[in-house]
Each structure stands twice: as C-alpha cells, then as structure tokens.
Amino acid sequence: MESKEFENCIVIRLDQGDEIASALLSVAAEKKISLASLSGIGATDDFEIGVFDLEKKDYVRSRFLGNHEITSLSGNVTTKDGAPYVHLHVTCAGGGGKVVGGHLFRANVSLTAEIFLFHIKGAVNRKPDDALRINKIHFN
C-alpha cells in the first residue's frame, strides 16, 4: 500500500494481497481522519459482502472467490467510540459480466485498487441502534 495526500484528498494504491477494509481503517487512524467519503476501483479474487435482512436484523453474508473487477467501491469514514469507523459498499463484476454487490466486510486485492479518500473538517459519531442492530450516524 502507498498513499499520497493532496489538500483534502488522500489517493491510496493497494497492492496484491492487501485487504481493503483494514487498509482504509489503518489510513484513517494514521491520518487522524474522523469524517470522509471515499470511492475506488480495482480487482479482487476473495471478498465477502452482505445484504441486511430487515426481519432477522442481521446481514446475510456471501463469499466470492475468483477474478472480479471492483467496478464501484464507495463508503465513508466516521467515528465510533472515539476511533475511526469505515462503512463500505461494493459492486464487483465476475466472469461473463455477472455483477454482485452489497455491504463490504472484506476484500483481498488481487491486482491493485485505487481509492480516493476525501476528508472533511469535522466529526460525525456512530452509536448502536438496538432496535435495528446497526451503528447509526448521530450528530450530537
């Protein structure tokens, strides 16, 4: 992984074997970022996504192996309990153009990933919502 900072944007290049979610969390912690949006593209051959089941109040997870293009990685950085919190969604295209997507839990980079992290002055905190069983943004 390498990165370079430009005013309010950090350009991050991830390499083969890097894990996307943990790398972004590491950058956010190192740079003391408490609020940001991000977007990226790349390639993965092992990733886990989920779609939230409203009745079960939990994610239904799926793991995918094999060559996939990350056609869209989007998300944000906020804080939870005083530490950076990364929330990611991804869309990936596999063989024959089959597309899958959802909440990204983890993804190993198979070739490279190019991510632009736009940090914003300020902070937004997350707190657990016990009824929904998610960590919601709070503005106080």
- Boundaries of every domain in the chain: 2-138
User: What pLDDT does 140 receive?
Assistant: 72
- Regions of the chain short of the pLDDT cut 50: none
Q: How crowded is residue 96: how many other Cβ atoms within 10 Å of its Cβ?
A: 5
User: What pLDDT does 137 receive?
Assistant: 96
Three-state DSSP state, 25: helix
CATH of domain 2-138: 3.30.1330.80
User: What pLDDT does 94 receive?
Assistant: 97
Q: Are 64 and 43 in contact (CB under 8 A)?
A: no
Three-state DSSP state, 21: helix
pTM: 0.95
